[in-house]
Amino acid sequence: MTSSSFDHLPYRPCVGAMLVNCAGLVFVGQRLDSSSEAWQMPQGGVDPGEDPDTAIFRELSEEIGIAEHHASLIRRSDGLFDYDLPDHLMGRMWGGRYRGQRQRWYLLRFLGQDADVNIATSHPEFRAWQWVEPQQLVDLIVPFKRQLYRDVVAEFLPYL
């Protein structure tokens, strides 16, 4: 099946976090469920009835163990960012209910110490993590999310 076979499906509502430390570097994690060397910023679904502003702090806690007091909001994205899954993942991710994700992105300042990051959460998603230059993000992500990362970096770069 091709992605056009899934065009009728909705996008999964999500949030994403560009978490920036005091040196201006961005947090990225390497996913546990991928054999590739791809890295990504924290992101995740918005639960039914949940506000995206609440979801972003829940996701930071669930994915990287960051408490809400260790991150402060700098900026929300002006709009939403979409991406479609590639053909080989269509119908396999999220029970086949979505064609991709529609994300609200948040630029957040990390107020903690590196020791406050804990990727060994109760439901771990990352096997490793690091701080990187914002300009490196696009090269680190899986190809089907690169345009989305270009757009997020372009929107937030003036506020770093």
Residue 53's region, left for phi above 0, alpha for psi from -120 to 50, else beta, is alpha
What domains sit in the chain, N to C, each tagged with a CATH number?
12-159 (3.90.79.10)
Confidence at 97, pLDDT banded by 50, 70, 90: confident
Read off the tokens for 134: 């914002």
pLDDT over 90 at 33, yes or no: no
Q: pTM above the 0.85 mark? A: yes
What would the pLDDT profile of 7-26 be if each residue is shown by its tens digit? 788 888 999 999 999 999 99
At 109 the pLDDT is 98
At 47 the pLDDT is 95
